[in-house]
């Protein structure tokens, strides 16, 4: 079953959508109306029925998924704590996206305005736009693919998992403070802080296992990444020193 939630009007204050994680988790087990009309959401200081905010539609699809349509930049906690579900945000998302996610997948076809993937335990997150807040703080496992990131921090106190920034990482992003383990893959031109030390250059085949996992999900990567070398860094010195960063070599 696929549930499509379309915002009736623009949000004027914060709404907590973390309760929808349990709905997404149960979609593989449902073959009828999951009583969405009984669900109450915290909207500002009020608890309101979900169908006041969203038009709720049901489709019988082989690929179970919860779809959110509209500008959800004031929606907090999308996918928080999810264990096996699938969520597609067809627009912008708010802070707390994929917080403490333990499995499943989340796709955002827009920007994330606030912190996301903090304390991530497993699963897959794709953000097809820019992240405008801290990313992957204390992440343990899983795979996160982001197109662009500016300002804020990536991988603070990271304990495992993989983060890929596929197109653009701004020079104002603080990279991996106190990062213990895990890996990051960045496009060319990224300056790595002194907390990490340069090691050898490696062919792209070294990271092909990660790329293959991304390709399985029909996510395009830069074509040049199939031919270039990747400069490898180890660190962080402020952590355990067992983390890795790979930066694509600039062609030409």
Rounded Cα distance, 42 and 53, in Å: 11
The yes-or-no verdict on residue 40 having pLDDT over 90 is yes
Residues 193-223: tens digit of each pLDDT: 999 999 999 887 778 888 888 888 778 777 7
pLDDT band at 30 (very low <50, low <70, confident <90, very high): low
Q: What's the CA gap between 100 and 79, in Å, rounded?
A: 9
pLDDT tens sequence across 68-113: 999 999 999 999 999 999 999 999 999 999 999 999 999 999 999 9
Given a cut of 70, is residue 31 above it in pLDDT? no
Q: Rounded to whole angstroms, how far apart are CA atoms 25 and 6? A: 19
Give the whole-angstrom CA distance, residue 59 versus residue 16: 24
pTM summary value: 0.94
Give percent helix, percent strand, percent coil of the chain, each to the nearest 5: 15, 40, 50
């Amino acid at each position: 079953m696929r549930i499509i939630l379309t915002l009736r009007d623009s949000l004027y204050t914060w709404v907590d959508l973390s309760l929808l994680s349990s709905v997404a988790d149960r979609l593989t087990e449902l073959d009828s109306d999951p009583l969405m009309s009984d669900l109450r959401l915290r909207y500002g200081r009020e608890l309101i029925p979900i169908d006041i905010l969203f038009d709720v539609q049901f489709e019988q699809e082989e690929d179970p998924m919860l779809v959110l349509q509209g500008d959800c930049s004031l929606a907090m906690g999308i996918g928080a704590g999810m264990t096996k579900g699938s969520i597609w945000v067809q627009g912008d998302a708010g802070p707390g996206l994929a917080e403490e996610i333990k499995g499943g997948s989340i796709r955002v076809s827009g920007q994330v305005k606030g912190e996301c993937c903090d304390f991530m335990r497993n699963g897959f997150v794709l953000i097809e736009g820019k992240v405008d807040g801290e990313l992957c703080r204390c992440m343990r496992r899983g795979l996160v693919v982001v197109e662009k990131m500016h300002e804020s921090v990536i991988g603070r106190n990271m304990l495992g998992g993989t983060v890929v920034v596929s197109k653009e990482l701004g020079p104002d992003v603080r990279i991996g403070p106190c990062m213990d383990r895990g890996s990051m893959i960045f496009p060319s031109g990224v300056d790595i802080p002194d907390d990490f030390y340069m090691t050898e250059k490696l062919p792209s085949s070294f990271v092909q296992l990660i790329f293959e996992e991304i390709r399985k999900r029909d996510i395009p990567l830069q074509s040049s990444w199939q031919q270039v070398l990747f400069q490898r860094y180890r660190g962080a010195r402020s952590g355990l020193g067992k983390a890795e960063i790979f930066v694509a070599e600039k062609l030409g």
